[in-house]
């Protein structure tokens, strides 16, 4: 109700602040009998971790996860899974200068007016650091979905600032710090180096995909699968736009083109992005998100202080000049959490997903 729990059956309740003692989450509703160790979770945390290239924040956080409950002898028991990550590399003094003023485009202003108090250290609760527990929970969902249905999740960058990134192959994604699906990222490196020198920041576009999707996930009328995907993605820090399938391009399409025709061999196209009427078709889920430029930048900005007086803000501290660079594993996790929750919701009402459906889905990767 107060917005810190994700999901309805497979729920993730997130807590923590950027510079508090710890962050973490409680996963409730995980099916019993899933083999699970901290290493299963650590892999995705490491992909999201700061300090891994010169293009992201230099904060050094090992982000070691501890499983506090819900697992006995290496297997989930069906009881809540408590996950804890200690904060270790806080430099709270960096934030003294912004405690009394508001960074343009940052949550500072809104938090102050909402709560009357705020923890200014590292953005407090509004920090992208709080995506770490989400990633941890997503790793649990991913594991169950892969074992149960063979569903898998991946994400890549398709635009950096004004640079479009032409898709080459998924195999390149793990081999560069941008999660870019291209072999050569020199242009991206140069772009970021110039940006950092300018004390500025830029946005990014990320593509997120689920393959091996079960058919029939999603609830009418309101909790459609695409509605919940949009909720999840728009809730990721800095996201300003979400598309499913053909997205905004579908406005200019004709119905004779957009509607994915079907043959006994499968769908002929995937303009729907794997969802019609709010329910999964078994085709790949295709999602694209727009991430705005970071608001914490070194360049001076016109602003006001908490008394409404004019001031100039320069954000020191250690920030990502493009938060989109580390967004891929987070977006994957969010998509996995949505699919996981809908898989359990479907099972509640309709029983196990029908696995015997006709050989329809044939979407290209």
Find the part of the chain contacting a second copy (CB under 8 A) among 47-55, 135-143, 183-191, 346-354. 346-354
Nearer to a second copy among residue 87 and residue 176 (C-beta) = 87
Q: What CA–CA distance (Å, rounded) separates 198 from 192?
A: 10
Residues 6+ positions from 242 with CB-CB distance below 8 Å: 229, 230, 233, 234, 287, 288, 289, 290
State yes or no: 86 annotated in a binding site.
no
205, two tokens: 């576009």
- Judged by CB under 8 A, does residue 31 bind a second copy? yes
State yes or no: 237 annotated in a binding site.
yes
User: Which of 5, 52, 53, 211 contacts a second copy by CB under 8 A?
Assistant: 5
108, two tokens: 């500072």
Q: Least distance to a second copy from the beta carbon of 55, Å?
A: 15
State yes or no: 54 annotated in a binding site.
yes
Strand 163-164 relative to strand 204-211: parallel, antiparallel, unpaired? unpaired
- Judged by CB under 8 A, does residue 281 bind a second copy? yes
Q: What CA–CA distance (Å, rounded) separates 12 from 141?
A: 11
- Judged by CB under 8 A, does residue 74 bind a second copy? no
User: Which of 50, 56, 59, 70 contacts a second copy by CB under 8 A?
Assistant: 70
- Judged by CB under 8 A, does residue 360 bind a second copy? yes
Find the part of the chain contacting a second copy (CB under 8 A) among 52-60, 137-145, 170-178, 308-316. 308-316
Q: What CA–CA distance (Å, rounded) separates 140 from 71?
A: 12
- Judged by CB under 8 A, does residue 80 bind a second copy? yes
State yes or no: 277 annotated in a binding site.
yes
Q: Where in 119-138 is the site for a second copy (CB under 8 A)?
A: 119, 124-126, 130
Find the part of the chain contacting a second copy (CB under 8 A) among 39-47, 72-80, 167-175, 185-193. 72-80
Q: What CA–CA distance (Å, rounded) separates 110 from 306?
A: 11
Nearer to a second copy among residue 67 and residue 208 (C-beta) = 67
Cβ–Cβ under 8 Å, residues 63 and 75? no
State yes or no: 264 annotated in a binding site.
no
Q: Where in 244-263 is the site for a second copy (CB under 8 A)?
A: 244-263
Q: Least distance to a second copy from the beta carbon of 50, Å?
A: 18
- Judged by CB under 8 A, does residue 149 bind a second copy? no
Q: Where in 81-110 is the site for a second copy (CB under 8 A)?
A: 81-82, 84, 102-110
CA 91, 94, 98, 100 torsion-angle sign: positive
Cβ–Cβ under 8 Å, residues 320 and 177? no
What separation in angstroms does the CA of 2 have from each of 6, 13, 14, 59, 312? 11, 10, 11, 29, 33
State yes or no: 296 annotated in a binding site.
yes
- Judged by CB under 8 A, does residue 243 bind a second copy? yes
Cβ–Cβ under 8 Å, residues 217 and 279? yes
Strand 71-72 relative to strand 285-291: parallel, antiparallel, unpaired? unpaired
Nearer to a second copy among residue 52 and residue 92 (C-beta) = 92
Cβ–Cβ under 8 Å, residues 168 and 181? yes
Cβ–Cβ under 8 Å, residues 284 and 65? no
Binding-site residue ranges = 48, 54, 125-127, 237-238, 277, 292-296, 318
Binding-site residue ranges for NADP(+) = 48, 54
């Amino acid at each position: 109700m107060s917005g810190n729990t994700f999901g309805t059956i497979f729920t993730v309740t997130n807590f923590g602040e950027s510079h508090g003692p710890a962050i973490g989450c409680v996963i409730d509703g995980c099916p019993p009998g899933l083999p699970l160790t901290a290493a299963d979770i650590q892999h995705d945390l490491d992909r999201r971790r700061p300090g891994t290239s010169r293009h992201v924040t230099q904060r050094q956080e090992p982000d070691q996860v501890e499983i506090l409950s819900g697992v006995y002898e290496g297997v989930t028991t069906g009881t809540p899974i408590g996950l804890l990550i200690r904060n270790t590399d806080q430099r709270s003094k960096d934030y003294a200068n912004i405690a009394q003023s508001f960074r343009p485009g940052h949550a500072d202003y809104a938090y102050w007016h909402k709560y009357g108090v705020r923890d200014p250290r590292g953005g407090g609760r509004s920090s992208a650091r709080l995506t770490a527990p989400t990633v941890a929970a997503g790793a649990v969902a991913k594991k169950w979905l892969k074992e149960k249905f063979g569903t898998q999740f991946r994400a890549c960058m398709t635009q950096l600032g004004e640079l479009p990134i032409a898709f080459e192959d998924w195999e390149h994604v793990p081999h560069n710090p941008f999660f870019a699906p291209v072999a050569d990222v020199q242009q991206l490196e140069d772009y970021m180096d110039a940006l950092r020198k300018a004390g500025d920041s830029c946005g990014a576009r990320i593509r997120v995909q689920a393959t091996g999707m079960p058919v029939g996930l999603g609830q009418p009328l309101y909790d459609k699968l695409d509605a919940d995907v949009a909720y999840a993605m728009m809730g990721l820090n800095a996201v300003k736009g979400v598309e499913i399938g053909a997205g905004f391009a579908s406005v200019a399409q004709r119905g004779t083109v957009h509607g994915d025709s079907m043959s006994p061999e499968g769908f002929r196209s995937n303009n729907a992005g794997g969802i019609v009427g709010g329910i999964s078709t078994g085709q790949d889920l295709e999602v694209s998100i727009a991430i705005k430029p970071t608001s914490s930048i070194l360049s001076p900005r016109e602003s006001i202080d908490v008394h409404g007086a004019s001031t100039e803000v320069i954000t020191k501290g250690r920030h990502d000049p493009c938060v989109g660079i580390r967004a891929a594993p987070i977006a994957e996790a969010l998509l996995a959490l949505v699919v996981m929750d809908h898989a359990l919701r479907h099972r509640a009402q309709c029983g196990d997903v029908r696995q015997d459906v006709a050989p329809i889905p044939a979407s290209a990767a």
